[in-house]
């Protein structure tokens, strides 16, 4: 009698365990994708400018403003650009996420902007805290998702990679050149373009256009040049970047951003199966969005 009773208990326990597992598996089958709007469409609440030669928070010449519901970068109040590269920083850092920006280039480049900055801007990922930038620092130590517009004739990819104060690993080898092109098509004129970036701490970064992965790399880390002057102790050669600030660039050509949105993947980063399914769904969704 005791043996049978014990046997029934074991069966009941096993069924309970299986039911719990089944419930857990059902819960883990899907992650509710929630887009957070980093830009409210009305004003620059949550965003802070840092422009080279100016203190953090000084929006010199109203470089960054909101016009017709878009974050607008313009130089109407500048006499000269004079290498005043700027960045508009979001108030919160992120580590594992899926970021999307919708942008278009407008107007004409300011007269003394560098040639390479024609229809050139970027979304800075895993960036340093702007509070640690020097007054004259041109770019934050970061990974740049470089966005470019075409000139109406020549091929010019967008969602490229540039590395101010950083290096990455590509195809198993440390990649130290400052910039590399993606495999995207060229976007001419003032059309709206959606660029997305999958950023998984220091394990993987992918650039996505129209649902296609146009560039990928791993192990973002501090190193190299192309950023100056840097505060002593901030640059730590070889240190892996697992998170950081997000910012939008002002590099001498007017541009607008109508949407800046993000899905925070940090809560599921440790669950590889669920993370993989969620990422697959997000990338597939970019085909529909575009």
Q: What is the 3-state secondary structure (H, E, C) of 167-193?
A: EEEECCEEECCCEECCCCCECCCCCCE
Are residues 101 and 260 in contact, defined by beta-carbon separation less than 8 angstroms?
yes
Say which DSSP state 183 is in: S
Residue 66 dihedral angles phi and psi, to the nearest 5°: -115, 120
Closest of 234, 226, 229, 247 to residue 49, by C-alpha = 247
pLDDT value for 29:
63
Paired with 86 in beta bridges are 51, 250
Residue with tokens 């719990």: 20
Whether pTM > 0.85 for this model: the answer is yes
User: Can you tell me the distance from the alpha carbon of 68 to that of 200, in angstroms, rounded to the nearest whole number?
Assistant: 33
pLDDT value for 290:
59
pLDDT value for 62:
98
Paired with 21 in beta bridges are none
User: Can you tell me the distance from the alpha carbon of 41 to that of 257, in angstroms, rounded to the nearest whole number?
Assistant: 10
User: Can you tell me the distance from the alpha carbon of 213 to that of 184, in angstroms, rounded to the nearest whole number?
Assistant: 9
Are residues 286 and 208 in contact, defined by beta-carbon separation less than 8 angstroms?
yes
- Spatial neighbors of 43 by CB under 8 A, at least 6 apart, are 66
Each residue's pLDDT expressed in tens, for the chain with a length of 290 residues: 434 333 333 334 444 444 444 444 444 467 899 999 999 999 999 999 999 999 999 999 999 999 999 999 999 999 999 999 999 999 999 999 999 999 999 999 999 999 999 999 999 999 999 999 999 999 999 999 999 999 999 999 999 999 999 999 999 999 999 999 999 999 999 999 999 999 999 999 999 999 999 999 999 999 988 999 999 999 999 999 999 999 999 999 999 999 999 999 999 999 999 999 999 999 999 997 75
- What is the total residue count of the chain? 290
Closest of 104, 105, 59 to residue 78, by C-alpha = 59
Calculate the alpha carbon distances from 54 to 109, 141, 244 in Å. Answer: 21, 17, 22
pLDDT value for 13:
41
Token output for 197: 């970036």
| DSSP letter string, 40-79 | -SSS-TTEEEEETTS-TT--GGG-EEEETTEEEE--TT-S
Say which DSSP state 186 is in: B
Structural Rg of the chain based on CA atoms = 23
pLDDT value for 30:
77
37-289: which CATH number, 2.60.120.560, 3.40.640.10, 1.10.150.120, 3.40.50.300?
A: 2.60.120.560
Are residues 99 and 199 in contact, defined by beta-carbon separation less than 8 angstroms?
yes
Domain boundaries, the chain: 37-289
């Amino acid at each position: 009698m005791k043996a049978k009773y014990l046997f029934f208990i074991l069966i009941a326990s096993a069924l309970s365990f299986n039911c719990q597992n089944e419930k857990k598996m059902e819960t883990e089958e899907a992650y509710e994708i929630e887009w957070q709007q980093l830009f409210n469409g009305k004003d620059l609440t949550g965003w802070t400018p840092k422009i080279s030669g100016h203190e953090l928070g000084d929006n010199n010449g109203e470089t960054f403003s909101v016009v017709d519901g878009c974050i607008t970068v313009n130089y109407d109040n500048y006499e000269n650009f004079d290498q005043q590269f700027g960045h508009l920083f979001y108030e919160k850092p992120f580590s594992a996420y899926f970021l999307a920006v919708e942008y278009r280039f407008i107007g004409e480049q300011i007269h003394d902007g560098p040639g390479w900055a024609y229809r050139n801007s970027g979304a800075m990922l895993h960036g340093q805290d702007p509070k640690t930038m020097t007054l004259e620092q041109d770019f934050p130590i970061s990974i740049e998702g470089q966005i470019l517009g075409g000139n109406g004739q020549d091929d010019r990819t967008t969602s490229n990679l540039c590395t101010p104060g950083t290096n990455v690993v590509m195809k198993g080898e440390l990649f130290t050149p400052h910039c590399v092109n993606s495999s995207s098509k060229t976007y001419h004129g003032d059309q709206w373009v959606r660029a997305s970036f999958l950023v998984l701490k220091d394990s993987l970064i992918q650039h996505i256009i129209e649902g296609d992965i146009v560039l990928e790399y791993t192990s973002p880390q501090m190193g190299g040049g192309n950023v100056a002057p840097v505060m002593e102790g901030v640059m730590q050669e070889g240190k892996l970047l697992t998170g950081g600030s997000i910012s939008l660039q002002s590099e001498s050509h007017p541009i607008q951003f109508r949407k800046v949105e993000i899905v925070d993947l940090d809560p599921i980063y440790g669950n590889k199966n669920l993370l993989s399914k969620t990422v697959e769904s997000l990338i597939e969704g970019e085909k529909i969005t575009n």
